[in-house]
Amino acid sequence: MNYYTSSSRVFFGGPVTRTVKLLIIANVAVFALQSILELSGSRLVTELLGLIPARVSEDFWFWQLATYMFLHGGVFHLFFNMLTLFMFGNDLERYWGTRRFLTYYMVTGVGAGVCSWLVAMRSAAAVIGASGAVYGLLLAYGLLYPNRIVYLNFFIPVKVKWLVLAMGAMAFFSSLGGGEPGVAHVAHLGGMAVGLVYLKGRDWMQLYGRRQYERRRERLKKQFEVYYGDVRRKVEKDGDGGPTIH
């Protein structure tokens, strides 16, 4: 996939940024260690760092909610996650800055892990992969650059906003139906949902606060009108009885 804007043409997300580079290096390094140990017959990395819901529920291994996103189930799983991170993460880091970008990446990744844990708290199957955080990045990119064109398979042009909607819908329906074995669709959907709340939650709270303020204002206005009407009728009634002598 690649994209372009009306003012410039960029291939594969432009020059790599510092945090994106470090994240890719960290993912590749952990995958290399994971693969070497598995070739020797050990699943220590997956059992210790992968998200095993039962471990979180029973043994309180809460670190797994963050570490799972640095493990992957194969070369292609790693490649496509890192490719998407590279394509969309560079622009987001340049736009937001390093601190906000890294915070968002971790929040969506951990949030996706929490969602996966909540729907299967007694499961002993490991959830691994950066897909939750990557889906969160895709959601953010769609909100910031909705009309940019992405070429699927280098051939089919589609606007980012439609790509985000399509991927979100697929993750949603896959999570309802169980989906493809071995794919944590709940994590994909969770990454998008947490990202949406993270980016839009403050605006929603402000909008809710304004609406609550308007409701209170209208309620007080009606109460005042009722009170003022009663007072006015009483004054008019007293006035009809003639002058008051003191």
Active site residues: 131, 188
Residue 42, sorted as left (phi over 0), alpha (psi -120 to 50) or beta, turns out to be beta
**152 three-state secondary structure:** strand
Write out the E strands in 114-223: 149-152, 156-159
Instruction: Give me the phi and psi of 38, to 5 degrees please.
Output: -70, -35
Residues near 31 by beta carbon (within 8 Å), at least 6 away in sequence: 71, 72, 78
**174 three-state secondary structure:** helix
- Measure the CA–CA gap between 176 and 186, rounded to whole angstroms: 9
Nearest partner of 199 among 241, 116, 154, 140, judged by Cα: 140
